[in-house]
Amino acid sequence: MSNLIETKYAIELKGVSKIFGSVVANDNINLNIKYGEILALLGENGSGKTTLMNMLSGIYYPDAGTISIAGDEVSISSPTDAINYGIGMIHQHFKLVEVLNAMDNIVLGTKEKYLKPKILKDKILNISSKFGLEIEPEKKIYNMSVSEKQTVEILKVLYRGAQILILDEPTAVLTPQETEKLFAILRKMKEQGSAIIIITHKLHEVLSVSDRVAILRKGKLIDTVKTEDSNEKQLTELMVGRPVSLKINRPEVESKKTILNVVDLSVMNEDGSLGLKNINFKLKRGEILGVAGIAGSGQKELCESIAGLIKIKSGAVLCNKENIIGKTPDEIINLGISMSFVPEDRLGMGLVGSMGMVENMMLKSYRKSKGFFIDKKPSRKLAEYLKNKLQIVTPNVDMPVRMMSGGNVQKVLLGREIDSNPNVLITAYPVRGLDINSSYVIYDLLNEQKLKGVAVLFIGEDLDVLLELSDRIMVLCNGEMKGIVDTKETTKEEIGLMMAGKSFKGVEGDE
Amino acid sequence: MNMFINFLVAAVFAGTPLLFGTVGEIMNEKSGHLNLGVEGMMSLGACAGFMAGFLTNNLLIALLAAFVAGLAGALIYAILTITFMADQNVTGLTLTIFGIGLSNFFGEYMLVNSNTNSLKLPENIAAQISNIYIPVLSDIPVIGQLFFQYNPFVYLGIVIAISCGIYLNHTKLGLNLRAIGENPGAADAAGIKVTKLKYLNVLLGGGICGIGGAYCSMIINGGVWMSNSVNGLGWISVALVIFASWSPNKAVFGSFIFGAFNILKYYTPKTYFTIPNAFYDMLPFVITALVLIITSIRKSKENQQPASCGINYFREER
């Protein structure tokens, strides 16, 4: 058996295609991966990475081509089949049942007999120690952090004895330290003979963890390169299809006047704990203040308290020395404070999925028009303008935004907020899940606003981007501000440690 | 004291049809399907159970017919919502209207074609569904009356409820089912056959509701066929699911409490105040509203409606 594993490919795809309606998501893909190898799958949004992997995990069925596992041609028509062939997939959005504990989630759907909790617990702890994972088997999923949930997902796959592991953007929600830990686990699994496919946007991660890189563009496999023979520049060019500058501009703006002053802001969560604890910072015109932190460290509460969407416990938010606490969201918008929050499901806040671009534009402007009937013309004009300026890909401006790809939806949201000529622009995760091209369009938009003298609060998840784009970075951990650092004088490691809860001397507070 | 024991016994009798309806609906909702057709499925069971009993004079066949009729109603619902992804609320409401209508139509048909102008269950089956008598046990004062003198339906209901509780909470199949109700995507990715299990449980739930219907037509009306015998008990069962916080075991007590509310009007002294009967009819719903308020204040993630209840699952949805 071990001999077999050495000589045969773990997975071999031959001429695999998948078509959705008129869209060719995957076009004649030929790809293979060996046991004991980590393959990175790189590509922009809509290049067909997830579709391809979903065919391996049984969510989609290929329209053409063959899939071979360990040398045998197979037909994977359901997730059950995939599991039986030893393929485990860790999805971008975790597939866990919140009200069950880790153990129940791990054994869920397995064919074996009902095990007594005690025996099951030992079995799970055994596997986790083998791969260096840390887990509390009896903890409920809804009490877990993102990184713990991911551990459960990995254990789910390992418990089923999967030899082939597929991870869809596993690092998007992790701190740099947690990412390193994950990579250590992946390397350990590789040593034990697993074949691992990792989908990611982050080039430096590709370079650090993978053995080979397969690049997809517009549904086609462009090339497969050895990681050691490659570099960021080459990978980007293969991915985008033309040379791209990877540097994010950080234009300097003179005469910085404070416009937003947040003093001792505290917010109470629904469960009675503090969502934000005594936050103090000043936001100036012509600067981008980055906010770093693990997901759920108080970013949402910060956005919503400034936008007037949630009640605050104590403190003040001064906009041009006027306290905006207690004002309605409408009054706050009229003061020129504009928020665009891109939640995990991208559509959750700000846009109505079943409405087209025109109607979504109108959501913010209809109150200004007079008369009983609504006037769609200005909104239509604005929608057409944004479509051209931001290169939004949609057949027409009336198509429901839900049908558009994530990147385009985000451009619609941000475009509408910027069009209202705000003084303060709060933007959370504007490039969430976006590919390099679309991300740079967004960065350019933000820089343009900064040059116009807008104060930008940029809540991000990718530390590299935060470090390049913002002038200063505020770090949140568990609702507490761990300090504000100047991006020119800090390192990624320092911010990573602050995100994990460490305060640094000399950087706390705001001058 | 005697009056109080009579009241408790009457509460159990009044609560039993609710128990079947509630457990049936719990099985539905645990699979992620909010089935508002309980009233309809019970009506179908009421008609089928009664007529089968009337024609064959055999309790077992009557129960089986009621189960199959409820199951058939649930099958319509299951095909529409699980396979064709129809809206669950609309489908459930339609099933209620359809079930009541068909039940009354068929009952009326049998009635006008009978010689006597009334349908009464034959003696053999009437004896089988009357209250049991266990020598010695049933004779124990108070305890015998409280525990060992009910009709077979009552015991059957409790056995079904407890079995369902064990199935849901202590078996692998039950674990899989709970996962489907909470997050069908996760269950699917874990290799659970979502569609198959959904069908299984929706049909099982429908069958249990059907037996509850048979109780209404065969017991409540004293073995004489009457139209609309379920008369809203199916709706109270839907509310009772919330009261029982989706637990079949709690449903046993919940249904007896609701049964007590239902008969409270007959046991309150009429001389002191005259509260309209409608007030007592309202009580179960007031209590349900209170339970809803309390659970939403407590904000516990557990003992809640399954997270995906009411949402159809389509694997390839983007």
Contact assessment for residue B224 and residue B31, using Cβ atoms and an 8 Å cutoff: no
Q: Is B281 on the interface with A (CB under 8 A)?
A: no
Summarised one tens digit per residue, pLDDT across range A287-300 is 999 999 877 788 88
Q: Which residues 106-145 of chain A have a CB within 8 Å of chain B?
A: 107-110, 113-114, 140, 142
Summarised one tens digit per residue, pLDDT across range B13-25 is 999 999 999 999 9
Domain count, chain B: 1
Asked whether residue A108 falls in the same domain as residue A205, the answer is yes
Residue count (chain B):
318
Q: Is B186 on the interface with A (CB under 8 A)?
A: yes
Chain A residues in contact with B179 by the CB 8 A cut-off are: 97, 100, 104-105, 108-109
End-to-end CA gap in chain A: 65
CA angle, residues A467, A471, A472, in degrees to nearest 5: 80
Spatial separation of the C-alpha atoms in residues A236 and A242, rounded to whole Å: 8
Question: Who has greater pLDDT, B240 or A252?
Answer: B240
Q: How large is the average pLDDT for residues A400-407?
A: 75
Query: Which neighbouring-strand residues pair with A16?
Result: A29
Amino acid symbol at B100: I
In chain B, whose CA is at the least distance from the CA of A106? B190
Q: Is B190 on the interface with A (CB under 8 A)?
A: yes
Coil, helix or strand at residue B293:
helix
Chain B residues in contact with A104 by the CB 8 A cut-off are: 175, 179
Summarised one tens digit per residue, pLDDT across range B141-172 is 888 888 888 999 999 999 999 999 999 998 98
- What one-character-per-residue DSSP string does A420-488 give? T--SEEEEESTTTT--HHHHHHHHHHHHHHHHTT-EEEEE-S-HHHHHHH-SEEEEEETTEEEEEEEGG
Asked whether residue A236 falls in the same domain as residue A265, the answer is no
Per the structure block, which two tokens stand in for A88?
């485990």
Of B191, B299, B301, the CB nearest to A109: B191
Q: How large is the average pLDDT for residues A160-173?
A: 85
Asked whether residue A268 falls in the same domain as residue A390, the answer is no
Q: Which residues 164-183 of chain B have a CB within 8 Å of chain A?
A: 170-172, 175-176, 178-179, 182-183
Domain count, chain A: 3
Asked whether residue A426 falls in the same domain as residue A416, the answer is no
Which residues, in sequence order, are CB contacts of B103 under 8 Å at separation 6+? Answer: B43, B44, B46, B47, B213, B227, B230
* Nearest to A423, CA basis, from A258, A312, A213: A258
Asked whether residue A315 falls in the same domain as residue A204, the answer is no
Burial environment of residue A273 by CB neighbours within 10 A (0 to 12, 13 to 18, 19 or more): exposed
Asked whether residue A193 falls in the same domain as residue A282, the answer is no
Q: Is A98 on the interface with B (CB under 8 A)?
A: yes
Chain A residues in contact with B190 by the CB 8 A cut-off are: 79, 83, 95, 108-110, 156
* Nearest to A340, CA basis, from A368, A309, A308, A303: A303
Coil, helix or strand at residue A11:
strand
Contact assessment for residue A88 and residue A162, using Cβ atoms and an 8 Å cutoff: yes
Query: What CATH number does the domain containing A489 carry?
Result: 3.40.50.300
Q: How large is the average pLDDT for residues A326-354?
A: 75
Amino acid symbol at B312: N
How confident is the model at residue A507, as a pLDDT? 45
Spatial separation of the C-alpha atoms in residues B26 and B248, rounded to whole Å: 7
Confidence of residue A9 (pLDDT cuts 50, 70, 90): confident
Summarised one tens digit per residue, pLDDT across range B236-293 is 999 899 889 899 999 999 999 999 988 888 887 776 667 888 888 888 888 878 887 8
Contact assessment for residue B41 and residue B213, using Cβ atoms and an 8 Å cutoff: yes
pLDDT at position A30 over 80: yes
Spatial separation of the C-alpha atoms in residues A82 and A163, rounded to whole Å: 11
Spatial separation of the C-alpha atoms in residues B251 and B24, rounded to whole Å: 11
Residue A369 lies in a domain: yes
Q: How large is the average pLDDT for residues B213-236?
A: 92
In chain A, whose CA is at the least distance from the CA of B194? A109
Per the structure block, which two tokens stand in for A453?
């003298």
How confident is the model at residue A344, as a pLDDT? 56
pTM of the model: 0.78
ipTM of the complex: 0.81
Spatial separation of the C-alpha atoms in residues B240 and B252, rounded to whole Å: 10
Q: Is B317 on the interface with A (CB under 8 A)?
A: no
Residue A437 lies in a domain: yes
Distance of CA B112 to the CA centre of its chain: 29
Burial environment of residue A11 by CB neighbours within 10 A (0 to 12, 13 to 18, 19 or more): buried
Using the 8-state DSSP alphabet, how is residue B139 labeled?
G
Per the structure block, which two tokens stand in for B93?
């409401």
Of A83, A100, A104, the CB nearest to B191: A83
* Nearest to B24, CA basis, from B216, B251, B229, B228: B251
Per the structure block, which two tokens stand in for A297?
């460290």
End-to-end CA gap in chain B: 63
- Strand pairing category for A212-217 and A220-226: antiparallel
Asked whether residue A391 falls in the same domain as residue A439, the answer is no
Coil, helix or strand at residue A276:
strand
How confident is the model at residue A508, as a pLDDT? 43
- What is the extent of the structural domain holding B122? 2-317
Beta strands in chain B (DSSP E): none
**Inter-chain residue contact A97 with B192, CB threshold 8 Å:** no
Q: How large is the average pLDDT for residues A7-35?
A: 87
How confident is the model at residue B82, as a pLDDT? 94
Q: How large is the average pLDDT for residues A28-33?
A: 92
Residue count (chain A):
511
How confident is the model at residue B159, as a pLDDT? 97
Element (H, E) at B211: helix B194-215
Per the structure block, which two tokens stand in for A295?
């997901």
Per the structure block, which two tokens stand in for B286?
């007031």
Coil, helix or strand at residue A308:
coil
- What one-character-per-residue DSSP string does A104-170 give? HHHHTT--SPPPPHHHHHHHHHHHHHHHT----TTSBGGGS-HHHHHHHHHHHHHHTT-SEEEEEST
Query: What CATH number does the domain containing B60 carry?
Result: 1.10.3470
Q: Is B187 on the interface with A (CB under 8 A)?
A: yes
Residue A252 lies in a domain: no
Coil, helix or strand at residue A438:
helix
Which residues, in sequence order, are CB contacts of A142 under 8 Å at separation 6+? Answer: A98, A99, B301
Asked whether residue A92 falls in the same domain as residue A39, the answer is yes
pLDDT at position A330 over 90: no
Per the structure block, which two tokens stand in for A481?
């501000």
Summarised one tens digit per residue, pLDDT across range A199-227 is 887 788 889 999 999 998 888 899 899 99
Query: Which neighbouring-strand residues pair with B41?
Result: none
Residue A367 lies in a domain: yes
Which residues, in sequence order, are CB contacts of A473 under 8 Å at separation 6+? Answer: A289, A290, A291, A292, A466, A467, A484, A485, A487, A490, A495
Asked whether residue A205 falls in the same domain as residue A120, the answer is yes
Q: Is B120 on the interface with A (CB under 8 A)?
A: no
Chain A residues in contact with B171 by the CB 8 A cut-off are: 114
- What one-character-per-residue DSSP string does A355-368 give? S-HHHHHHHHHGGG
Summarised one tens digit per residue, pLDDT across range A448-485 is 889 988 899 998 878 888 888 999 999 988 888 888 99
**Inter-chain residue contact A109 with B176, CB threshold 8 Å:** yes
**Torsion of the alpha carbons at A449, A450, A456 and A462, rounded to the nearest 10:** 100
Asked whether residue A306 falls in the same domain as residue A381, the answer is no
Query: Which neighbouring-strand residues pair with A74?
Result: A67
Rg of chain A over all Cα atoms, to the nearest angstrom: 24
In chain A, whose CA is at the least distance from the CA of B182? A97
How many other C-beta atoms are found inside a 10 Å radius of the C-beta of residue A32? 18
Biggest CA pair distance of chain A: 79
How confident is the model at residue B316, as a pLDDT? 65
How confident is the model at residue A211, as a pLDDT? 94
* Nearest to B232, CA basis, from B13, B28, B46: B46
Spatial separation of the C-alpha atoms in residues A287 and B95, rounded to whole Å: 61
Per the structure block, which two tokens stand in for A258?
């404070």
Per the structure block, which two tokens stand in for A38?
């980590």
Residue A251 lies in a domain: no
How confident is the model at residue B67, as a pLDDT? 97
Summarised one tens digit per residue, pLDDT across range B118-129 is 889 998 898 888
Residue labelled with tokens 């592991």: A165
Spatial separation of the C-alpha atoms in residues B233 and A33, rounded to whole Å: 61
How confident is the model at residue A39, as a pLDDT? 94
pLDDT at position B96 over 90: yes
Element (H, E) at A263: strand A258-268
Amino acid symbol at A95: K
Distance of CA B10 to the CA centre of its chain: 18
Last residue of a domain, one of A210, A240, A270: A240
Rg of chain B over all Cα atoms, to the nearest angstrom: 20
Coil, helix or strand at residue A482:
strand
Q: HSE on the CB side for A253, CA within 13 Å?
A: 22
Shortest CA gap A100–chain B (Å): 8
pLDDT at position A511 over 60: no
Which residues, in sequence order, are CB contacts of A466 under 8 Å at separation 6+? Answer: A290, A292, A458, A460, A473, A487, A495
Which residues, in sequence order, are CB contacts of A245 under 8 Å at separation 6+? Answer: none
Query: Which neighbouring-strand residues pair with A196?
Result: A38, A165
Last residue of a domain, one of A359, A385, A420: A420
Beta strands in B197-268 (DSSP E): none
In whole angstroms, how far apart are CA A160 and each of A38, A424, B182? Answer: 20, 50, 22
Element (H, E) at A87: strand A87-90
Per the structure block, which two tokens stand in for B85?
């992804």
Asked whether residue A432 falls in the same domain as residue A399, the answer is no
Per the structure block, which two tokens stand in for B314?
């389509």
CA angle, residues A447, A450, A452, in degrees to nearest 5: 115
Using the 8-state DSSP alphabet, how is residue A269 labeled?
-
Residue A253 lies in a domain: no
Q: Is A345 on the interface with B (CB under 8 A)?
A: no
Asked whether residue A262 falls in the same domain as residue A327, the answer is yes
Q: Is A273 on the interface with B (CB under 8 A)?
A: no
In chain B, whose CA is at the least distance from the CA of A50? B318
How many other C-beta atoms are found inside a 10 Å radius of the C-beta of residue B127? 10
Question: Mean pLDDT in chain B?
Answer: 90
Spatial separation of the C-alpha atoms in residues A279 and A318, rounded to whole Å: 13
- What is the extent of the structural domain holding A365? 349-420
pLDDT at position A394 over 60: yes
Chain B residues in contact with A99 by the CB 8 A cut-off are: 178, 182, 301-302, 304, 307
Which residues, in sequence order, are CB contacts of B95 under 8 Å at separation 6+? Answer: B35, B36, B37, B40, B41, B73, B76, B77
Residue A48 lies in a domain: yes
Element (H, E) at B168: helix B152-170
Residue A248 lies in a domain: no
